[in-house]
Structure 1
Amino acid sequence: DAAPKAGKGPKGPKGPAKGPCKGPPAPGGKGPPAPGGKGPGGPPAAKGAGGKAGGKPGKGGKAALETKPAVKPSQPMKPLWWNKMVFGAQLQKGETIWDEVKDEMDRLPIGELTLRFSKSAVAQKEKPKKEEGEKKKEELALIRIITDPQIVVGKEASLRKLPEPSEVAKALDELNDKILDVEMLQVVKDNACPNPAQLKELQEARQKNPNVPLALPESFMWVIGHMPAYQQRIDVWSFAQSYPEQHASYDGALKDFLSVVECFQESEVLPHLLGIILAVGNYLNGGTNRGQADAFDLETFGKLEGIKDATGKDVRHFIFDLFLNQMTEQANTFLEEITPCMVNINRRIAKDSDGVEKLDKSARIVFEDFDMCVNALHGEFVAKHETMQMILSYFEDPADPFKMQMPAIYSEAKEKLDALLTLKDTAKEKYAQLLKWFKIQSMKSSDFCVLWDNLMVPSNLILNADMKMKKDFMIPTFCQNKPFTADELQILWQFKEFDAKSKLPKKKAGQRRRRRFSQRLRDAQAAADKASAEGQAPPAPGGAPGGAPAGGKAKGKLPPPGKGKPLGLRPD
């Protein structure tokens, strides 16, 4: 109803309690009853506003009139404590967006609004059912059988690296390693292959909801799960793709370990160094039942540091002073001979929990670890080869890529892995011979290498150096997995001063030409591969042509140790 004109009109109900000043005029006509009871005064009105409700406007000018129709809810509602603004008071025409805002009362679902937000509103029982129904409807937007959020996120992140599911299935069928390389095939194996229970669950969900799309992991599972023998096919192909890298790693490590064993077996100077240590021990034990020894156990190396002179230097200082300074040429030769053992040790300066520096030493190649790795790789090959033979009967098409290619791939793998087993057994036998040569009943290969490194490069000589010496010499020379010379060893033992400005003596031309035995083996392998490709006879490991034993050494009776001859035979 339109508000009546200002002036005399029918008397309205009594307005709210008076505030500190007179309130604004109430609209004419009958208004809603004021809330009962005493209450605080109303908000202050503009000066000069009219008096009683429905009365004349005051001297302040025109009254502010509400433009929206009055509303009377069917029930008392929860209040919204906002700051009310009306045109003619807080708002002026043509200044705000509110000129364009129209009354939208007829759009409101008044019944729901009253039911939910009246003061007497209570929680409706239907509400949770409704939300549950909406939730179910939301879940059906995509078919998912994997519901753990963390697993879903991980799988989807990995599967986004792959092509479309149909293209992946085609690559699996055609054994296309350009689309599915080793890494991508592993992604498929880990994230896109359903187990039988998952495939059954996925089929049931698809039957119930044929028009609902599949989530990303489920879309891959659906396509791949319908390939014949998909799990076995992927397992067999995955091994065929991944084993060459493992084979190359194990082959290189075993050949490097063989060079460690042979560097002691073939050393010409080793008996001289042991002879010096034996002589020193016999002199120290002279006049006792420990003297006059013909040999000693290698664990004696660890006891030398406990015998110190008056200045605190142990007996090793005396031994290497003699060896490095009076047997210089032999010392240079010896350092070259045992380089494979020295570079097999990783040396790193670290700090313990108290902040004290320590030198960590560890063997880079531990034969016992690679022994287990090779056996495990061969065992995996045997299992996958049996799987391959079994599933070949699943493919009736003689032109199937799996049936045409996989037997040849596994035949080649068998040859390589059999050769790797032979190399491993050779290294194991030679190491056993080496221990027997040193009269050692049993010792792990890493302990053997660290034993010699502790003799040559004591930890305290590196740790006790000042910071500048560590930075300029100790760390670059002894902590970066590279060979060191006799001159550098003299600086370590403080027989020579280190001068950062001057260069250390260069190696002789003959010394520069000599390379690590493991590098020669790798060169020989490369030459063998090249010769095989050209249809020539490959050279034997070590560079000897025509398959002769490397170095031209004849087979037969083992020579006595210490005469510069190998204890065992090089593999042809």
Structure 2
Amino acid sequence: MKSDQVKGTIFSELDDQRVLQELDMEAFEEQFKTKSQSPPVDLGTLKKKMAQKTPSGASLMEPNKAKNLAITLRKECVAASDICSAIETYNQQALSLDFLELLERFIPTEYEMKLIQTYESEGRSLDELSEEERFMVRFGKIPRLSQRISTLTFMGNFPESIQSIQPHLNAIIAASMSVRSSRKLKEILEIILAFGNYMNSSKRGPAYGFHLQSLDLLTDTKSTDRKQTLLHFIVSIIQEKYPELQNFYTELHFLDKAALGNQTL
């Protein structure tokens, strides 16, 4: 920058300072002050203005949950009262399965139920609440709500579940009929029962049958010399006295499929 330009700038600044001293800046500031220059607003006044802009309704739900509930209710296009009535009467046809599964996420928490109880105990009107909150109040009063929704969900899934497990059920039924009709297996069980009655004769009278889980005792019961189990002893007796029963397993069918199906179920 040239020297004359520098001098001109300095003189301009000096002139500005002189002019500022001769002008009434208070009148200028009053007429042209910006918002940032405005005097601070009284805190009490600000609170009153905020209260006027804020809805008077109470909040019984977390905002995001209320928003998601509103979206869910719009999807089903069923009145809130009809939804609650369907759950109370187990009306499976009134509500879709997908909607029921979504509703499970909106079961009121213990904290939300306390908020509802407090709100009602104060005698406040439901009209102050949003549509979603009014639904939550009605929804939360359904007895055993969680169990009812679970039951309805189970009922809705039942046909598909039956179709899925039917092959396994058929295998189990077929295997059960095979076991029941096996003559050789029945005779083996009679031999086991005879030994059991003999061992327990001093404790109680003869039994006419035993539970299947009692067969586990055959491997747990050992001889006095601890060299063999009761199962091994009975096997040796069958091989010696009843050799025709050794191939009893040939009368049993579908056992592998039944065992696989039982694990799946």
- TM-score after normalising by structure 2: 0.47
Name the one with the larger helix percent. Answer: 2
Query: With structure 1 as the length reference, what TM-score do the two structures score?
Result: 0.24
User: Which structure carries more relative contact order (alpha carbon 8 Å, separation 6+)?
Assistant: 2
